[in-house]
């Protein structure tokens, strides 16, 4: 009743203009109560925006918190799921303490942090369930008792009927069936996805029928598939008890198709379902409303009398109203307080200026705002400060001081926590230099990694890896060769070809305290996984305001090799979509291993792009493989020079170094800098300091024009105050706009080559001194 009334009141709040948008869980209540009754401490939910009843029933959502999110209240105590950063209906529990350390997840009811893209909760669900399998079967994890009790935890997924059409849903189902993990997926089937009915979504119009082939038999592993009606409480309880037992005790995945659910108020506040549902359908939804049906059930079975139920409803209704009003007063009161402070300061400022009328008008308009929001207050004060730009007096100073203070508070409210703010922030990991014995052997790059991973598997029980061809053969480039045999199939494992859920496997296990290394075989195939990295991993810490972390490391390899799908370097794509992750672009495997060490000491998610053409190149084997760290955000000067700085990274380091040697022969000394990481990027201004010396710069990479090279240019020119030191136009060198053609000639004519770089730098020097460097 509490949930139902929250839905009914929520819609009204939106229509009164007190909240921007609303999407509610009415019509889905009863099944969620059944699910909540079998959900246990330590379990995880990964669901979607209809799950308010479940969250209330497990005690993780009060009416106050519900409305705090609807209003976008930024107070994390009032709105612990997202501190006002997410629309209503996006649920999450807090896994972390304020200092970023883990809580004891076995003593909590846990929910992943919801995302809006339909079915994007599915990949993570696989990992949440897989973690239980690891905790049960990997004896090396027995000390991780604040994350799991013998792998008994079930991961509970929820998804709308229409959202099951997404590829991610099928990929997750298949992977869970193969892996036999304790996952229970409920499909809330209300027959529609906004306005589109099931016949347009699903083969045979029924997801449980369409998935029948995934069903387990006496002789074959698969899913337990159950079908139950959303208004039938006894059947729901039977289904959920059965599902919970199967998943918890035997790690068998279960799909519960909950049919005949309804939407009493339509899809969301953005439209009305009368537009697309027939009168018969609307009547049917009224008649089969699960709350009404449940009441009927209770009365017919003599479980309670009508007046008792009426009393419960009246109390629930009153509670919702009261908590809603309390939180509205708190939320709007805070803004009103800021508003009255601003009005007071503006009035004071109006006394000291020749622009008195303008400032007074701004103050008056602000004080009359109905349901003011923070933007009204801040934008008014900023307009006033522009008006007062020529003046200098104490009241203006007071206004300026006030807005500076507000900016800091608003940064914390709206912009903080993109990256870790804990002691394990990757920027706080101390640098440890790689050491070499006198007789350090030169080995293939892949052997550096192999030795490093061997050491790490030995010493870090939380660390494990998985991906296509990672297990038996130890990845396509053999950095894990022999390590499955040595450390076991739970530490080094093969997966199906399913990039999106490989990442999901990583997300869920990272959310439960493990340190997954998820491998994407080639950088070009990251596109299959990019959506979930962007929508879930990269924004997780931000969207929960530090309530959850998933320190997943994605390992992949790219830049140069052969052809369109094995030579990509789409760094611009990564940089635009994966803010919130660390992006490492090591030039060789020694640097890569040091970066993995750094990342494993930190609590941030990251992607490491190894050089595809570097595994067979010789490198000296460091003696402190498990210990040395490569700091992030700290470029390394590979070659000193006085004429021009080239900043680059990855496989291009070798190409640029070769060009620099050629240029040196003709009297041009280039300083070559390896950025090493792109996010974070050169936090100490090392490239800027080099430009102060050389007064010229080129940013080079093998992404398309305007991609990674343009990013580096923007970071340095805007961020490092070097414009005034430049004596030549700053430039970029990149690959062609198309994907690289096949074979060595294709590479030569598609990617930047030594001659391209030599000629571009020479052209700059020709402009500087045409006598010494005549045009070619
Ligand atoms: C990838 C993606 N496409 C489109 C949308 C817009 N959208 C939000 S909910 C929704 C319908 C989902 O229907 P269903 O899965 O049946 O869930 P229901 O709302 O009916 O419970 C759509 C199309 C979205 N959020 N994500
Ligand atoms: Mg639906």
**Of 24, 166, 194, 535, best ligand 1 pocket probe by most atoms within 8 Å of the beta carbon:** 194
- Please give the structure tokens belonging to residue 87: 């629309």
The pLDDT tens digits of the residues spanning 606-635 come to 999 999 999 999 999 999 999 999 999 999
Q: What are 264-309's pLDDT values in tens digits?
A: 999 999 989 999 999 999 999 999 999 999 999 999 999 999 999 9
**With left for phi above 0 and alpha for psi between -120 and 50, is residue 743 left, alpha or beta?**
left
Residue 765, φ and ψ in degrees, nearest 5: -70, -30
Q: Is the pLDDT of residue 183 over 90?
A: yes
Cα(118) to ligand 1 centroid in Å equals 5
**Number of H-type helices and E-type strands within the chain:** 26, 22
Output the six-digit token pair for 166: 């997404």
Name the residue of 88, 193, 268 to mutate for ligand 1: max ligand atoms within 8 A of Cβ: 193
Closest residue CA from atom 20 of ligand 1: 193
Span from the CA of 715 to the centroid of ligand 2 (angstroms): 44
Q: Kindly give the number of the ligand 1 atom that is closest to the alpha carbon of 268.
A: 19
Tokens in use for 44?
């995880």
Q: How far is the centre of ligand 1, averaged over its atoms, from the C-alpha of 15 (Å)?
A: 21
677-722 tens-digit pLDDT: 999 999 999 999 999 999 999 999 999 999 999 999 999 999 999 9
How many angstroms separate the alpha carbon of residue 394 from the centre of ligand 1?
54
| Contact call for residues 395 and 349 (beta carbons, < 8 A) | yes
Report how far ligand 1's centroid is from the alpha carbon of 480 (Å). 41
pLDDT over threshold 90, residue 651: yes
User: Can you give the pLDDT at residue 289?
Assistant: 98
At 742 the pLDDT is 95
β-strand 553-558 against 515-519: which pairing, if any? parallel
Which pLDDT does position 182 carry in this prediction?
A: 98
Radius of gyration for the alpha carbons in the chain, expressed in angstroms and rounded:
30
Closest ligand to C-alpha of residue 25 is: 1
Instruction: State pLDDT tens for residues 396-451.
Output: 999 999 999 999 999 999 999 999 999 999 999 999 999 999 999 999 999 999 99
Best mutation site among 162, 186, 192, 197 for ligand 1, i.e. most ligand atoms within 8 A of its Cβ? 162
Check residue 354 and give its pLDDT: 93
Mutate to test the pocket of ligand 1, among 29, 160, 264 (most ligand atoms within 8 A of CB): 160
Which of helix, strand or coil describes residue 103? coil
DSSP secondary structure code for residue 57 in this structure: H
Residue nearest to atom 13 of ligand 1 (CA): 193
**Secondary structure (3-state) at 45:** strand
Contact by Cβ (8 Å): 504, 172: yes
pLDDT band at residue 560 using 50, 70 and 90 as cut-offs: confident
491 vs 485: CA distance, rounded Å: 10
Instruction: Give per-residue burial for 167-193: e unless 16+ CB within 10 Å, then b.
Output: ebbbbbbbbbbebbbbbbbbbbbbbbb
pTM: 0.97
Residue 514 has pLDDT above 90, yes or no: yes
pLDDT score for 271: 87
Please report the pLDDT score of residue 52 as a whole number.
98
For residue 495, how far is its CA from the centre of ligand 1 (angstroms)? 29
Give the integer Cα–Cα distance in Å for 726 and 511: 46
- 677, 685, 750, 773 from 641: Cα distances, Å: 22, 17, 28, 17
pLDDT given for residue 283 in this prediction: 97
Query: Is residue 318's pLDDT more than 90?
Result: yes
Whole-number pLDDT of residue 562: 85
Cis omega before residue 55 (within 30°)?
Answer: no
Pocket perturbation via mutation, ligand 1, pick of 87, 118, 196 by most ligand atoms within 8 A of CB: 118
106-148 confidence digits (pLDDT tens): 999 999 999 999 999 999 999 999 999 999 999 999 999 999 9
Ligand nearest to the CA of residue 87, numbered in listed order? 1
Longest dimension (CA), the chain: 103
Contact 729, 717 (CB under 8 A): no
- What lies within 8 Å, CB to CB, of 482 at 6+ separation is 450, 474
Spatial distance between the Cα atoms of 55 and 316, rounded to a whole number of angstroms:
16
What number does the ligand 1 atom closest to the CA of 190 have?
20
State the ligand closest to the CA atom of 163. 1
The residue-averaged pLDDT of 154-169 equals: 98
Q: Return d(Cα 756, Cα 763) in angstroms, integer.
A: 11
Give the residue, by CA position, lying nearest to ligand 1 atom 26. Answer: 117
Q: How far apart are CA 153 and CA 128, in angstroms?
A: 9
Proportion of the chain above pLDDT 90, given as a percent: 99
Name the residue at shortest CA distance from atom 21 of ligand 1: 160
Catalytic (active-site) positions = 566
- pLDDT in the model for residue 80: 98
Which ligand has the shortest distance to the CA of 259?
Answer: 2
Which numbered atom of ligand 1 lies nearest the CA of 50? 21
> In angstroms, rounded to a whole number, what is the distance separating the alpha carbons of residues 444 and 111?
44
Q: Can you list the alpha helix ranges (DSSP code H) found in 602-685?
A: 652-665
**Ligand with minimal distance to 164 CA:** 1
Expressed in angstroms and rounded, the spacing between residue 401 Cα and the centre of ligand 1 is 45
Instruction: Round the average pLDDT of the chain to a whole number and report it.
Output: 97
> CA geometry: angle at 570 spanning 481 and 746, to 5°?
85
Distances in Å between the Cα of 86 and the Cα atoms of 207, 604, 638, 660 are 29, 21, 44, 50
Instruction: Point out the ligand 1 atom lying closest to the alpha carbon of residue 159.
Output: 15
Q: What contacts 41, CB < 8 A, 6 or more positions away?
A: 106, 107, 108, 109
What span, in angstroms and rounded, lies between the C-alpha atoms of 555 and 677?
A: 14
pLDDT at 337 over 90: yes
Which of helix, strand or coil describes residue 645? strand
What is the distance of C-alpha 514 from the center of its chain?
Answer: 17
Q: How far is the CA of 244 from the centre of ligand 1 (A)?
A: 27
- Answer yes or no: is pLDDT of 158 > 90: yes
Between CA 393 and CA 397 the distance in angstroms is 6
CA of 189, closest atom in ligand 1: 16
Pocket of ligand 1 (CB under 6 A): 50, 116-118, 160-163, 188, 190, 192-194, 267
Kindly tell me the burial class for residue 305, based on how many C-beta atoms sit within 10 Å of its own C-beta (0-12, 13-18, 19 or more). exposed
Helix/strand/coil (H, E, C) string of 226-283?
A: EEEECCCHHHHHHHHHHHHHHHHHHCCCEEEEEECCCCCCCCCCCCCHHHCCCHHHHH
Summarize the confidence of residues 629-655 as an average pLDDT: 98
C-alpha of residue 191 to centroid of ligand 2, in Å: 5
- Please give the distance of CA 402 from its chain centroid, rounded to a whole number: 34
Token look-up 């005690």 returns: 59
Position in ligand 1 atom list of the atom nearest CA 120: 1
CB-CB contact of 438 with 598 (8 Å)? no
| Number of Cβ atoms within 10 Å of the Cβ of 165 | 19
């Amino acid at each position: 009743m509490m949930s139902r009334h929250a839905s009914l009141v929520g819609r009204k709040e939106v229509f009164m203009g007190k909240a921007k948008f609303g999407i509610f869980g009415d019509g889905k209540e009863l099944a969620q109560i059944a699910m909540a009754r079998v959900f246990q401490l330590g379990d995880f939910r990964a669901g979607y925006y209809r799950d308010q009843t479940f969250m209330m029933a497990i005690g993780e959502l009060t009416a106050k918190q519900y409305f705090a999110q609807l209003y976008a209240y930024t107070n994390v105590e009032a709105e612990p799921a997202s501190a006002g950063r997410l629309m209503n209906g996006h649920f999450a529990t807090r896994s972390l303490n304020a200092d970023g350390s883990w809580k004891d997840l076995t003593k909590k009811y846990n929910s992943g942090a919801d995302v809006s893209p339909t079915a994007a909760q599915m990949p993570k669900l696989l990992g949440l369930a897989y973690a239980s399998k690891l905790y049960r079967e990997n004896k090396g994890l027995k000390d991780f008792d604040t994350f799991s009790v013998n792998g008994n935890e079930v991961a509970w997924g929820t998804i709308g009927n229409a959202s099951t059409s997404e590829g991610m849903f099928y990929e997750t189902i298949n992977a869970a069936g193969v892996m036999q993990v304790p996952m229970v997926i409920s499909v809330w089937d209300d027959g529609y996805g906004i306005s589109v009915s099931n016949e347009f979504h699903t083969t045979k119009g029924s997801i449980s029928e369409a998935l029948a082939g995934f069903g387990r038999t006496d002789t074959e592993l698969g899913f337990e598939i159950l079908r139950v009606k959303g208004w039938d409480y006894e059947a729901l309880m039977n289904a959920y008890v059965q599902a919970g037992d199967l998943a918890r005790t035997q790690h068998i995945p279960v799909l519960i198709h909950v049919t005949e659910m309804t939407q009493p108020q339509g899809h969301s506040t953005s439209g009305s379902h009368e537009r697309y549902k027939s009168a018969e359908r609307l009547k049917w939804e009224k008649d089969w409303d699960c709350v009404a049906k449940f009441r009927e059930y209770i009365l017919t079975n003599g479980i309670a009398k009508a007046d008792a139920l009426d009393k419960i409803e009246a109390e629930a209704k009153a509670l919702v109203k009261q908590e809603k009003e309390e939180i509205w007063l708190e939320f709007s009161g805070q803004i009103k307080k800021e508003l009255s402070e601003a009005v007071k300061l503006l009035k004071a400022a109006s006394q000291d200026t020749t622009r008195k009328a303008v400032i007074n008008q701004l103050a008056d308009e602000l004080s009359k705002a109905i349901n003011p929001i923070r933007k009204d207050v801040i934008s008014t004060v900023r307009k006033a400060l522009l008006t007062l730009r020529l003046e200098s007096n104490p009241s203006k100073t007071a206004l300026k001081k006030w807005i500076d203070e507000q900016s800091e508070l608003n940064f914390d409210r709206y912009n903080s926590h993109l990256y870790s703010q804990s002691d394990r922030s990757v920027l706080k990991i101390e640098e440890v230099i790689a050491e070499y014995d006198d007789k350090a052997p030169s080995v293939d790059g892949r052997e550096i990694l192999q030795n490093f991973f061997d050491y790490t598997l030995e010493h870090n029980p939380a660390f494990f890896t998985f991906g296509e061809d990672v297990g038996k053969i130890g990845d396509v480039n053999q950095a894990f060769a022999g390590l499955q045999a040595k450390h076991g199939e739970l530490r080094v494992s093969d997966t199906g070809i399913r990039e999106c859920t490989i990442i999901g496997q990583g997300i869920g296990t990272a959310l439960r305290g493990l340190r997954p290394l998820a491998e994407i075989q080639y950088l070009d195939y990251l596109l299959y996984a990019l959506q979930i990295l962007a929508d879930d991993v990269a924004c997780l810490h931000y969207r929960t305001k530090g309530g959850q972390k998933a320190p997943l490391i994605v390992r992949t390899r790219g830049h140069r090799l052969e052809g369109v799908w094995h030579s990509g370097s789409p760094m611009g794509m990564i940089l635009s979509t994966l803010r919130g992750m660390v992006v490492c672009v090591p030039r060789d495997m020694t640097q890569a291993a040091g970066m993995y060490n750094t990342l494993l000491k930190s609590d941030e998610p990251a992607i490491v792009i190894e050089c595809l053409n570097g595994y067979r190149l010789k490198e000296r084997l460091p003696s402190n493989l498990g210990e040395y760290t490569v700091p992030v955000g700290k470029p390394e000067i590979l070659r000193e020079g006085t004429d021009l700085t080239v900043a680059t990274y990855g496989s291009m380091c070798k190409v640029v170094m070769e060009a620099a040697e050629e240029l040196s022969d003709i009297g041009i000394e280039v300083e070559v800098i390896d950025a090493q990481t792109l996010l974070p990027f050169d936090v100490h201004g090392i490239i800027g300091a080099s430009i102060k010396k050389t007064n010229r710069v080129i940013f080079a990479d093998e992404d398309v024009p305007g991609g990674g090279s343009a990013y580096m240019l923007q970071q340095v020119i805007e961020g490092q105050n070097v414009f005034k030191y430049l004596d030549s136009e700053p430039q970029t060198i990149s690959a062609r706009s198309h994907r690289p053609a096949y074979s060595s000639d294709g590479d030569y004519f598609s990617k930047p080559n030594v001659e391209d770089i030599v000629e571009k730098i020479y052209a700059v020097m020709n402009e500087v001194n045409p006598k010494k460097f005549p045009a070619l």
